[in-house]
Structure 1
Amino acid sequence: MTLPPDFTLLQVVPELETGGAEQSTIDVAQAVVAAGGKALVATRGGRMAARLEADGGRLAQMPVQSKNPLVMLGNAARLVDLIRREKVSIVHARSRAPAFSALWAAQSTNTPFVATYHGVYGARSRLKRWYNAVMTRGDLVIANSDYTRDHVLAEHGVAPEKIVTIPRGVDLDRFNPNWVTPSRVAALRKAWGVAEDDRRIKILLAGRLTRIKGHLTIVAAAKRLKAEGRDNFLIVFAGDDQGRTGYREEVEQAIRDAGLENQIKLVGHCDDIPAACLLCNLAILPTTVPESFGRAAVEPQVMGRPVIASAHGGTTETIVEGKTGWLVPADDVEAWSRAIARALDAGPGALASMGAVAANRARQLYSADAMCAATLAAYERVLDARA
């Protein structure tokens, strides 16, 4: 994709810690730099900031994560200054609170404004619906799945031509089984205390430790499996509690109460998800509320691992029932125990065959390159419309 001369993109995201919106921010910044443009990211900062700068992007640190109206006004002024100083071509917001500051700054400088609807936001009041609608007030709305697009159309009455679906992408270089060395997998085995001769089916739940990710459903399902005499599995919960120590303690207590200390491990944040996928035989995504896209269901598939996921949201688009994984009713402990039992009965060989089908499909549909190319094309469309 050829960008206009002197193209400068400003993305605005609360922080660069971990998550789908943050990863997409990094990917698009890298694509803009590769295409000859400049990529700026206004953010509080975070552990992924180093990757942004290593890829040639630039960090503009400011408290855009704040919902304090006075801080938001201050952010708008900072963004106006940044837009003028750097001659920004497009402002792209990826979260609601920063979107207010970004939209005000874009309107003040007559700069095109794009927003990505990364999640399906609930709205129980007119005020909350107005707050959510800030993501639709610019030149173009990007939805990260058809599920999200349908929600935006129904919730905000946006003209269909003003919203485009661009599925979230996976970095096929980073998530490439051939490039994950045995030493990386061995390092995770050692860190997680998984013996090399452990022949149990290993199941990965990658995601921050928060109630909506469904950890307690899996603990309850594993308890049923153990009561049936099944113990040939090891479930790994890989994710930060991000300060939610109360929930972490609740999960740990549930594991102890069920006598599952040998079946479920909490391993904390994992920097090497590709190696984690290879260490395990399959992945699970038991979210209690719909994921707008569900990157944690796509990354394992790219790595050749089938996925069991809750049957709602974007995962109904990314998983083909019975072919690349299984879809299970959310919060249904019995259904989840049956689904995991089905995977255990299938065994490593059948799971690997299913994973190969999953990898072929996911690599075709959900590459970061495809996502970035579509995003840059959306920028071009907005600039042409303004011209």
Structure 2
Amino acid sequence: MGETSKRICLQVLPSLRAGGVERGTVDVAQALTAAGWTALVASAGGPMVRELERVGAQHITLPLKTKNPLAIRRNIDVLIEVMRSNNVSVVHARSRAPAWSARAAARRLGIPFVTTFHGTYGLGPFGLKKFYNRVMADGDVVIAISEFIRAHLMQNYAVPAEKIRLIHRGVDLQQFDPANVSSQRLIQLALKWRLSEATPVVMLPGRITSWKGHHLVIDALAILRQRDPHMQLRCMMVGPTESTHLVETLTAYAEARNVSGWVQIVQDCNDIPAAYMITDVAVSASTDPEAFGRVVAEAQAMGRPVVAPAHGAAGEIIEPGMTGWLFTPSDPVSLANAIQSALNLSREDRARLSIRAIERVRAKFDKTEMCMKTLKVYDEVLMNLRP
């Protein structure tokens, strides 16, 4: 393939909106350009295109968000032209619909094809979606973002262990560093959210969707209020959503459970590190297992106590009782107990937990390490092409 500077990687995904897949795509593109590669990303576009271009990558706008079988088929020829005209060396698919097109194009041209299995995706009734999902298990190398996903690949798709590379998702340790968050940022955000220093803050960060556990958190809050009617608490539900109906439903549900005064939904926050810093407890409450759980890692990087369900990859990130708590999935009583335990920490215990949590993330979930391992996968598949 010639000199490293001539290597060209094409990542494909549906769009570049906020999310873990999109964040990983940008992070790897930045690492590629820093290593002398040309980084290309094809998607339907979105707010993160500007960020992608700022790190030196090139975005190619294509209709890769569609799940229409005819459109997926048309995208094969489009991607073949993109790969040929840009002399692409490696293709990396990060989502199912674009992976179907990208795999066909890459195989036709003899280009190495890598996938990252970002979620369980769900098998659907009677396993009907398994065929659609299978493309993500058919890379020359398949990247699993957690031990949980690695086991899922082997159990449900019979992917050989030697074909899987475990690369945990990583946290930007410059952005998510308590030392880099100024007191001015904390004050500005506290004023914007109208928070009182005397009132504990619980935060549920992440995209507002039906399976992220917002209703479950409201149920847990109601239990805490029933236990102590005089308790003061603020619960910030922070994240984007494409469903105004869901926001309205959550607002009504909080009112019905008598915790509307505690719950505040914020759909736009441009300073998540500061948000973690003004939080007493960070919560992940997903009702479906998380493939990784970026919130859990980010919160620990900021030294915050974390509460998460005992399924998916949460147990790989949290050290139970040492950096956070695991609760029984979908159980509001167990969640309420875990939140209460975190809120009851003494100042000394909170300080010790903070140190352990930060050290754990820095040792195991560094974005730089994630990117380095991903580029090693690209080198590996290119080496396998050589006669």
Range of TM-score over shorter length:
over 0.9
Equivalent residue for 2:232? 232
- Alpha-carbon distance, 1:3 to partner: 7.5
Q: Deviations over 1:85-104 (max 9, x none)?
A: 11111000000011001111
Q: Tell me if 1:42 matches 2:36.
A: no
SS in 1 for 2:344: helix
> Which blocks of at least 5 consecutive residues in structure 2 are unaligned?
none
Give 1:249-260 correspondences, 5 Å limit. Answer: 249-260=248-259
CA contact (8 A) 2:305 2:342 kept: no
Q: Runs in 1 of length 4+ with deviation above 3 angstroms?
A: 124-127
SS in 1 for 2:341: helix
CA contact (8 A) 1:281 1:351 kept: no
Give 1:96-245 correspondences, 5 Å limit. Answer: 96-123=96-123, 124-125=125-126, 127-195=128-196, 198-229=197-228, 231-242=231-242, 244-245=243-244
Q: Which moved more, 1:376-385 or 1:224-233?
A: 224-233
**If the length of structure 1 is used for normalisation, what is the TM-score?**
0.96
AA at the equivalent of 2:115 = A
CA gap of 1:231–1:133, structure 2 versus 1, over 3 A, is same
Equivalent residue for 1:361? 360
- Alpha-carbon distance, 1:320 to partner: 0.6
- Alpha-carbon distance, 1:126 to partner: 5.2
- Alpha-carbon distance, 1:259 to partner: 2.5
**If the length of structure 2 is used for normalisation, what is the TM-score?**
0.96
Q: Deviations over 1:35-94 (max 9, x none)?
A: 011101101111111111001011101110100122212222221111111111100000
Mapped partners of 1:3, 1:377: distance in 2: 15
CA contact (8 A) 1:15 1:46 kept: yes
CA contact (8 A) 1:3 1:35 kept: no
SS in 1 for 2:259: coil
SS in 1 for 2:202: strand
Q: Deviations over 1:107-128 (max 9, x none)?
A: 1211100000000122134542
Mapped partners of 1:127, 1:212: distance in 2: 21
Mapped partners of 2:352, 2:171: distance in 1: 21
Mapped partners of 2:282, 2:351: distance in 1: 12
Mapped partners of 2:94, 2:251: distance in 1: 33
- Alpha-carbon distance, 1:214 to partner: 0.7
AA at the equivalent of 1:345 = N
Mapped partners of 1:93, 1:333: distance in 2: 37
CA gap of 1:324–1:373, structure 2 versus 1, over 3 A, is same
Q: Which moved more, 1:182-191 or 1:160-169?
A: 182-191
Mapped partners of 2:378, 2:276: distance in 1: 34
The number of equivalent residue pairs is 383
- Alpha-carbon distance, 1:359 to partner: 0.6
AA at the equivalent of 1:169 = G
CA contact (8 A) 1:203 1:280 kept: yes
Give 1:336-375 correspondences, 5 Å limit. Answer: 336-375=335-374
- Alpha-carbon distance, 1:184 to partner: 2.0
Equivalent residue for 1:14? 14
Give 1:48-127 correspondences, 5 Å limit. Answer: 48-123=48-123, 124-125=125-126, 127=128
CA contact (8 A) 2:280 2:343 kept: no
> Which blocks of at least 5 consecutive residues in structure 1 are unaligned?
none
AA at the equivalent of 2:155 = A
- Alpha-carbon distance, 1:299 to partner: 0.3
